[in-house]
């Protein structure tokens, strides 16, 4: 993995001096890596309109080159208005990684294997230095479902989970049976999604697509299933809740 360093001016101190406990993955949503870098360094040309001061801790280019823009102990500005599991200042609690990809605005493409390999190595290092549980490895769309679709359904979360990064649902029969309870009415499903961490202020039809982008991408790319709850979604959600609850009960090392 090739690493380089740039010093973005867009950062400040983490509120209350908290340690990062959340990892957020993004795509850049820019035509090129240079366009993204220009935004993060506040040198963006007129052709690439900036949404305002933005910075990730890291960016991964198509060839796997990693650029660090903000030190891990500082508060980068990547999450924006967001919420997860009771936290609303996600920037103070998180480390943000941008993966170069045009995204839905410029022609969403598959992430390269070089990007995935670099992401694996980079995140393994981050996890060795920071107390981030598997259920707090998230996409931007998880913490801001109504604003952000990234990193989107093309990111191979299952591949990452097999390498110890984040969670990928592996429901068994009890998850299907008990997950059926969530399908009894909309309130039960909404409650389960927010128990996992999604923003309770949002509507169910705003949360389901976000869940699918991360944990059920095959449903998201099928127009007939996109945004619709089904037994597979409920079983996967039940499995994720089991993993989260198991982690909460585990003794602190």
Residue 77's nearest CA partner among 102, 22, 40, 131 is 40
Which of 13, 37, 72, 98 does the annotation list as catalytic?
A: 98
Alpha carbon distance 161, 150 (integer Å)? 18
Residue 94 DSSP code:
E
Residue 57's nearest CA partner among 118, 107, 7 is 7
Q: Residue 205: in which H helix or E strand, if any?
A: helix 204-215
Q: Is 98 designated active site?
A: yes
Distance set, CA 251 to CA 32, 40, 173 (Å): 45, 39, 28
Residue 48's nearest CA partner among 62, 34, 61 is 34
Q: What angle do CA 176, 178, 183 make, to 5 degrees?
A: 85
Alpha carbon distance 157, 119 (integer Å)? 11
- State the catalytic residues: 98
């Amino acid at each position: 993995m090739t690493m380089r360093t740039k010093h973005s001016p867009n950062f400040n101190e983490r509120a209350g001096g908290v340690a990062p406990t959340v990892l957020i993955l993004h795509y850049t949503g820019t035509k090129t890596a240079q366009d993204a870098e220009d935004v993060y360094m506040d040198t963006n040309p007129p052709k690439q309109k900036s949404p305002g001061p933005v910075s990730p801790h890291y960016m991964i280019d198509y060839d796997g080159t990693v650029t660090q823009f903000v030190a891990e102990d500082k508060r980068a500005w990547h999450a924006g208005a967001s919420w997860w599991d009771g936290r609303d200042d996600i920037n103070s609690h998180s480390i943000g990684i941008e993966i170069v990809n045009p995204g839905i605005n410029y022609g969403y493409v598959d992430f390269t294997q070089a990007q995935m390999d670099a992401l694996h190595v980079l995140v393994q290092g981050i996890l060795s230095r920071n107390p981030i549980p598997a259920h707090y490895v998230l996409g931007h769309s998880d913490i801001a479902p109504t604003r952000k679709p990234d990193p989107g359904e093309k990111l191979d979360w299952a591949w990452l989970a097999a390498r110890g990064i984040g969670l990928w649902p592996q429901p068994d029969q009890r998850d299907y049976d008990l997950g059926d309870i969530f399908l009894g009415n909309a309130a039960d499903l909404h409650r389960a999604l927010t128990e996992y961490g999604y923003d309770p202020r949002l509507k169910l039809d705003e949360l389901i697509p976000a869940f699918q982008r991360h944990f059920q991408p095959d449903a998201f790319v099928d127009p007939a299933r996109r945004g619709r709850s089904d037994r597979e979604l409920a079983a996967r959600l039940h499995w994720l809740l089991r993993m989260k609850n198991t982690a909460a009960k585990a003794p602190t090392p």
